[in-house]
Amino acid sequence: MAMTNKERQAQYRRKRKGDGGKGLSVVLDDGADLALHRLMRHWGKTRRETILHLIEEADLALIRSLPDDEEGRARYMALP
């Protein structure tokens, strides 16, 4: 018997979580969506790869801008 759409989605989510992934659902306004598509085209990346790239770059830039003290760095790096 074929799986229902709900069963396929549940299987997909289980598989993704097994890979250590976290889900994200977001609605972008038109300007942000156009900017995302420009970046995707410029970097030759998928939507997912582009968003990951932006997050990693922003995080690295912030870490580099922190004062050279361990307390500030530890406070930023601490998980909520």
Q: Residue 54 has what pLDDT?
A: 97
Q: Residue 68 has what pLDDT?
A: 81
Closest CA to 53 of 40, 69, 71: 40
Query: Residue 41: exposed, middle, or buried by beta-carbon count in 10 A (0-12, 13-18, 19+)?
Result: exposed
- Residue spans of the domains in the chain: they are 33-80
- Would you say 78 and 71 are in contact if contact means Cβ atoms under 8 Å apart? no
Taking the chain (80 residues) in runs of 10, the rounded mean pLDDT of each run is 88 77 88 98 96 96 86 83
Q: Residue 76 has what pLDDT?
A: 87
Q: Residue 41 has what pLDDT?
A: 98
Q: How far is CA 17 from the centre of its chain?
A: 14
